[in-house]
Amino acid sequence: MKYLTGTFLISAEKLSQCPDYILPEFPLLGRSNVGKSSFINALANNKKLAKTSNTPGKTRLINFFNFSDRFTVADLPGYGYAKISKEVQNRWQKHLEEYLLNRKQIATLIQLIDSRHDIQKNDIQMREWVEANNLPIITVATKIDYVSKSKVLNVVKNIEKQFGGVVLPFSSVDSRYNEKIFDTLFEYINK
């Protein structure tokens, strides 16, 4: 399976506005411009499903996408983007924490890490918060097509060494990684 049909459901600012359904949910955590929208689009084989942008910080709400009535993906605002007021940052943080800690549909979190760079301080801080709250998480190394083929394994191993657990390579232009991602998501759905 390389793709599922993806459809946009709804945007929500906070938990009380999230859609009421029983499908397993996979929230995407990651820095601004790590490739969350491209991840969604590649899994759906639809470049226009989630809006992509070269400008960080465009995602301001939790955007929900249904994948063939099998599961949903929640695209969260990126962390580490500073061109918004402290007040807005604090409000986002409060709403996102409430969502991540209390949303019953969450099967596991997916943290996206840009494979072209070392893991950033805010990636580590997010991971520490997730682990402190005992939330399930897997890691996806995005933009792996920018890494030379001889270094892909080293990049994945380095992220595994720092974060532990499952680390999946991903490319928005090469669908060969999609099948392993779908297999991993369905493992969490069938637990």
pLDDT tens sequence across 106-133: 999 999 999 999 999 999 999 999 999 9
Which of the listed ranges 32-36, 85-89, 129-133 does the model predict with the highest average pLDDT? 129-133
Query: Is residue 102 within a helix (H) or strand (E), and if so which, with residue range?
Result: helix 86-102
pLDDT at position 81 is 61
Query: 113 near 159, Cβ under 8 Å?
Result: yes
Q: What are the beta bridge partners of residue 8?
A: 65
State the amino acid at position 134 in one-letter form.
Answer: N
- Report the C-alpha dihedral over residues 48, 53, 56, 60, rounded to 10 degrees: -40
pLDDT tens sequence across 132-188: 999 999 999 999 999 998 999 999 999 999 999 889 999 998 888 999 999 999 999
- Record the pTM: 0.92
Cα–Cα distance between 43 and 11 in angstroms, integer? 19
- Locate tokens 């990636």: which residue? 123
Quote the percentage of the chain above a pLDDT of 70.
91
